[in-house]
Structure 1
């Protein structure tokens, strides 16, 4: 396991981090076994959030007796002082700890949200107070718009930043990661599989592992998944492999979707999932979770072509800050169902 100094925090963290978001979806004993196995194998960065159902309770019940062995990060999605304070106080109790290493202001994607969290009476003020009292050690920020995060962290108010980085979303490399490096901040990359789309897992994990980040956060739910992720990063990435992975990322990132989720769809089509998986599907094929997404959402995707209000001027495209051809990509996904039928 590779360990690096986590920015200016003074903590050495493992290159693979345990993302606990999906633990509430599996039996408790399975989640407990995965967490303890991860610690046994040297993973020392555990990440969750107040809003991840009972993930924090699972951590508290499973590994609070090993608290000295890991760096603990959680998040609050609330923007106001009172609600954020409630989240942090509840997180301490749920995870059975006296101190949380890192609290992140979670899922900040608009200027309005950032201002709400950072202004007087906002979530950041609550985090500062908890830090002064010794209940949290560091403050971070997370979001899905790397170019905005790069501007926000420049104010030197955060110790860490959490962002997407995978073969289909390499956009944080442009401005965000260099800025975080310049500021000596903790750099945590999430979604190495892009939410379960990119395969093989070994190739998907090795791309963010090859970049200038401290922790690659993977949402593992079993001992087997921990083993699979550890195996993927057992060896360092050489120059030739790095160039190959970066060329693949340039190809798979052609969709240009940052998953900022501005694009609400009246048909409830999950447009970012369609956009991001589009090139992955053509080039690498999808993991079972990705194939399942297309089966579950088949009717919604097929109905897009006949939705009258979007025929002349798609509603989703009017909301996109990157002006992406969303309807065209959804139509291509719909056409893929017809091709599946004709090839059987």
Structure 2
């Protein structure tokens, strides 16, 4: 496994990190033993950065990690998060995470999911999230205060230049890299470590492997290999967080980390030339939008809508019906309250897209 320095922390971090959001259920529950085996295998193959959070996998991820950690033989580092703005609530969540994972400290603790600059400022107020995290660090409960964000490059640069953090986690992949590259460059210049999430675009890249085949080079067996290598090739990026739901996926991803060959400038320019602005508007399936008062499965509609951006309206309707088992008419129940758009980390026009689906469905059934 190849390792990179995480900013100025002095820590050597595996170029492939473990994203703890993609554990699979066995029936209706999570088999902790089976899931923990995947984590342990990653550790055996050299992964030493394990990222989890409250609420991941129906609030089971931290428990699964704890189940695995007791069987880990090599040194590892733990990343978890809190989106609480109130300092007291953040402290409570931190203590819960420590207890769940049976840890004395969190190595990388995130001020989680900063959506925009107003949101960032709300975490910095007296008695707020950052102040509580700083106090916990002084007490030894946190080793490094970092942040995660879905902001654009300019906003990330502004946050980085506040000199408050030692690292960050950001969504970054072949689909959206032009829109966040400036933020990564700013972080690198300031000496921050950088973990990147969603390297596979929420699964869209392997699902549309033929479409995205242009990112593959002779060194890549699959599009997945190419997407991971694209991220890992960046000097600004410390670790690429890959969600792994099986031992086979661990082996495949760790192979990239062991045999990393950086993309040359010519290949990077070739990829950039084939990207287009609308590709930054693909839903990555983070599911933060799932707060609909009408019980519309918003994230599934948005993932289906990706087919409009990549293909056509009919594919959206086909995906809804045949993949998700959802009637398009559900989209027409939207009351345009805006809750989902307020939660969307990518600032997608969800209401307009739901309206589109309703129109397309009606037209197709005339």
Q: TM-score range by the shorter chain?
A: 0.7 to 0.9
Structure 2 counterpart of 1:243 = 269
Superposed CA deviations along residues 81-102 of structure 1, whole A, max 9, x for unmatched, are 1111111111111111212111
Structure 2 counterpart of 1:110 = 116
Structure 2 counterpart of 1:255 = 281
Distance of 2:14 and 2:321 partners within structure 1: 31
Asked if the contact 2:290/2:340 (under 8 Å) is kept, the reply is: yes
Q: Relative to structure 2, which stretch is displaced further, 167-176 or 157-166?
A: 167-176
Distance of 2:99 and 2:50 partners within structure 1: 16
Cα shift at 1:336: 9.9
Q: Please report the TM-score for the alignment, with normalisation by the length of structure 2.
A: 0.76
Asked if the contact 2:66/2:100 (under 8 Å) is kept, the reply is: yes
Structure 1 counterpart of 2:80 = 74
Matches within 5 A, 1:72-151: 72-146=78-152, 147-151=154-158
Cα shift at 1:195: 1.5
Cα shift at 1:256: 7.2
Would you say 1:41 and 2:70 are equivalent positions?
no
Shift in CA distance, 148/278, structure 1 to aligned 2, threshold 3 Å: farther
Report the secondary structure of 2:84's partner residue: coil
Report the secondary structure of 1:167's partner residue: coil
Structure 2 counterpart of 1:296 = 324
Asked if the contact 1:167/1:252 (under 8 Å) is kept, the reply is: no
Matches within 5 A, 1:265-344: 267-270=296-299, 272-274=302-304, 276=306, 278-280=308-310, 295-296=323-324, 298-299=326-327, 301=328, 304=331, 327=352, 331=356
Matches within 5 A, 1:148-159: 148-159=155-166
Report the secondary structure of 2:80's partner residue: strand
Would you say 1:222 and 2:226 are equivalent positions?
no
Distance of 2:141 and 2:73 partners within structure 1: 14
Asked if the contact 2:197/2:242 (under 8 Å) is kept, the reply is: yes
Matches within 5 A, 1:50-65: 50-52=54-56, 53-65=59-71
Asked if the contact 1:165/1:191 (under 8 Å) is kept, the reply is: yes
Matches within 5 A, 1:177-256: 177-199=184-206, 200-211=223-234, 212-233=236-257, 234-239=259-264, 240-250=266-276, 253=279, 255=281
Asked if the contact 1:274/1:329 (under 8 Å) is kept, the reply is: no
Cα shift at 1:28: 1.7
Q: Relative to structure 2, which stretch is displaced further, 59-68 or 136-145?
A: 59-68
Distance of 2:186 and 2:256 partners within structure 1: 28
Distance of 2:269 and 2:321 partners within structure 1: 31
Report the secondary structure of 1:140's partner residue: strand
Cα shift at 1:198: 1.2
Cα shift at 1:245: 3.3
Asked if the contact 2:289/2:298 (under 8 Å) is kept, the reply is: no
Q: Which runs of 5+ in 2 are unaligned?
A: 207-222
Distance of 1:137 and 1:43 partners within structure 2: 19
Q: Please report the TM-score for the alignment, with normalisation by the length of structure 1.
A: 0.80
Superposed CA deviations along residues 18-48 of structure 1, whole A, max 9, x for unmatched, are 0112337342222111111101111111000
Report the secondary structure of 2:201's partner residue: coil
Distance of 1:166 and 1:297 partners within structure 2: 29
Count of aligned residue pairs for this structure pair: 330
